[in-house]
Amino acid sequence: MAVGWVRLDIVLPEAASLKDRRQVVRSVRDRLRQQFNVSVAELDEEKDLWQRASLGIAAINGDTQYLAGQLEKAAGAAERMLAGQDVRRGAVEILN
């Protein structure tokens, strides 16, 4: 079994409150979970900042190539959902 993950750092300039940020994060998280069957979590580092969020996307699979492709697709979909926002994607990391 292999475990893979990718990190997204997002800047949300229109977010005027934590509620605004949470709404965007929740929407992206729910859509990715439904579309790609991956785990998505907001990472703790930036919880106090309204206009910044970090998401971790993770999955487990026996086929590392499929896993890497699945995570790339999920990260790409998240970037499309957040069009117009500054999104920085980390590299897909796989542990065997």
Q: Which domains are assigned to the chain?
A: 2-95 (3.30.70.1120)
At 28-41, the pLDDT tens digits run 999 999 999 999 99
Phi, psi (degrees; rounded to nearest 5) at 45: -55, -30
Q: Is the pLDDT of residue 47 over 70?
A: no
What is the pLDDT at residue 85?
85
Its pTM stands at 0.90
| Amino acid at site 37 | N
pLDDT digits (tens, 9 = 90+) for 52-76: 899 999 999 999 999 999 999 999 9
Computed from CA positions of residues 88, 91, 94, 95, in that sequence, does the dihedral angle turn out positive or negative? negative
6-29 pLDDT tens trace: 999 999 888 888 898 889 999 999
